[in-house]
Structure formats: structure tokens, C-alpha cells
Amino acid sequence: MAPGKRLQKELLNVFNYRTCFNCTSAHRRQEYEEVPEENYNLPYHQTNNVVPGEAVTVKIDVPVPLREEPKFPKEKWKTFVSFLILAANFILATVSLSLVHERLPDREVYHPLPDIVLDNITPQEWALNVSEVLIMIVVNSCILLIIFHKHRFIVMRRVFLIMAVLYFMRSITMYVTVLPVSSTTYYCSPKANSTTPLVIAKRVFQLISGFGLSINGKHTYCGDSIYSGHTVMLVLGYLVIAEYSPRRFYLLHWTAWATALAGVIFVLIAHGHYTIDVIIAYYVTTRLFWTYHTLANNHFLLKKRRTLREWPLLMCSTIVQSGSNNYIGREWWYTYFKYFEKNVRGPVPRQYEWPLPWPRQFHSKLPNRES
């Protein structure tokens, strides 16, 4: 058959399919679904050799079901890698502080900078200890929440990565600009007038052994002004509790919010940080947390090229109504985000379970349901 006649026949078949409104369903099935004609004898049509009353065997090919991938895989090794990234950035922040301490302006020459809040508050040394006690309460509450969360490895991985980015950026900001100490009463260790690897290693070990807190007497190095690490931990703790705890736990959410706010206020009362340090810490922590979870909860943003099936979803999305470009994907940490979140398909449900295999009766008391 000539190519022109073949194309004409195919177009005619398509036209007949679109315009055959009076055709019966049997005709359409026979014409387009390759259903055999009635006079075509299949094994189950051959009734000549069938004895009445005997059973007839009909063979039906059943396709093998596809293995369904878990929607929220644990990926424990990714969680371990994210913890290593957090540890590396925490050590980097302590190294930065060890170097900054030697560049600290002389407190006898350079007094605290003018601050609209600190200038009107008398410094109270006890307030910093209260703030750090509140930090420990919020952090331990987050640890308990993550332990009892059904998808604890995903939540843990996200917290580790967000904290790693915050520590990395803080190690840069505190190093590039060293401000005078905001408090006139806070104790700062004497300078060593040298930055040998041994001196830095000793300072890093001392800071790590005290978990970066001053309540245990380990944080005696000054200069980590921009931005406030106390504010970062308080705000991040509240955000984690509000995001992953049951929605009906309103009292817990408001308590975490009030605790974070009180902790920040006590930091200012103690003159532990300038007000600008607190504002920057709040802004950076909330933007990073919300940006990360916006990307994580909208899995289609992980793809640069859109398929035809995704366009209806994109047209309904608030993020892309202003344009088809995903500018959030230009974040410098976006590549690492894709690696850790590419297998998590959708928002993590608020489900909880007993974390240990024993005792077994606890599993029935804590059902796996979204709250």
C-alpha cells in the first residue's frame, strides 16, 4: 500500500472513532480493543467437544503485581550522614569562635555598642542561666517527640540538616565581623595571643564538652555575637514541636512558644547578645525552616523539568502561579536537600508509635494514626 493511502486510512479510522456516536459498544470493542469476531473460535468458545455436566478449565493470565515502594522510607544511613554533617559544622563553629576570641576588641577600650533595648535594662547575670535552662527543656522535649514519632528518622534527618546549615552560616557571620562584648559583667578567658593548632584544639574540646552552654562554666570565650545561638535553639525547638506534634495539642504548642519567647527575653536581660543578634537569628531560623519544609512538602519542586502530567498540579499551585521558575531551588543548599529528600513523597504525617519492640502491650496503646 502506498504511504499516502496508508496515512489516509489511518486518518479515516481516527475520524470514525471520534464521530461514531451511533456505534454499539460491542462494535467499538471489536474495532479498537482487538476483540475477536463472534465466528472466531477461541478455546473457551469451542463447545463442540464439551460434555454436559463436566467442568471446563479456563486459563486466565494474571499480571504480577508491582512492588510498591514505601512512601516514607527510613533511610537510616542518610540520617547518619546528616548527623556527621551536623557534627562537622558544630566543630567548625567552635573553631571559628576560638579564632574570633583572639580578635576580640579590648573591653577596656571598646565599650558595648549602643542598643535601644540593652541601654534600658540593667544586666542580670542569673538571666542567662535561666535562658539556658529553658533551652534544655525545649531541646529535651524535641528529643522525646522525635523518639515517639513514627517517621523519626526523617524528622531527625531534617533537624540535623537545618542545624548544620545554621551552624555553618553562624561560623561565617561571627568570624567576618567581631563586635565588642555586649555585657560588661560576662567573664571572658584571657587571650593567648596566638592561634596555634594546639590552642584551638583545646578551646574546641572545652566548648564541645559543655555543649556550647555557659551554665556549666565551659563557654568562657567571647565574640560569637552575630547571630544568637540561644535564639536559634529556642526558635528551632518551637518550630519542630509545632510542626511534628499532634495538631490538637494546643497547650503544648503555646507552652513551647511562650518558653522560646521567655528564653529570648532572658538573653536580652542578661545582655548575652545584642538585639540585632536576636532579630537576625529569628529571621534566619524561621526562613530556613519554612523554606526547607515548603520544598519537602511539595515534591514536584524537586524536578527541574516538568512533565505534561504535572502541569495541572502546577497550575493549581500557589508557588508557581507567579511564574514557572522555581527560584527557591537556587538556594546554595538545594543540591544537598534533593539528595536527602528525594525519596520522601509528601508531607510527613503526624503519626506516633512506641519506639522499642518491648513491651508489646504498649504498641496497642499507642496506635499508628494521624493526630
Active site residue 293: no
Selected catalytic residue, list 101, 151, 219, 273: 273
Catalytic residue among 101, 151, 219, 277: 277
Q: Is 230 a catalytic residue?
A: yes
Judged on CB neighbours under 10 Å (0-12, 13-18, 19+), 195 is middle
Q: Find, among 119, 161, 157, 163, the residue nearest to 139 by Cα.
A: 163
Burial environment of residue 18 by CB neighbours within 10 A (0 to 12, 13 to 18, 19 or more): exposed
Instruction: Return the SS3 of 80.
Output: helix
Check if 273 is active-site. Answer: yes
What is the DSSP code string of 14-34? HHHHHH--S--HHHHHHHHS-
How many Cα neighbours within 13 Å face the side chain of 342?
A: 8
Half-sphere exposure for 94 (CA within 13 Å, toward CB):
23
Number of other CB atoms surrounding residue 210 within 10 Å: 15
The active-site residue, picked from 149, 151, 219, 230, is: 230
What is the C-alpha separation between 113 and 85, in angstroms, rounded?
35
Q: Which residue has 508557588 as its cell numbers?
A: 319
> Which DSSP symbol is given to 147?
H
240 Cβ contact list (under 8 Å, min separation 6): 142, 145, 146, 155, 159
Listed in sequence order, the residues at least 6 apart from 6 whose beta carbon sits closer than 8 Å to its beta carbon are none
- All three cell numbers of 116, joined, read 535601644
Name residue 352's beta-bridge partners.
Answer: 149
Known catalytic residues? 230, 273, 277
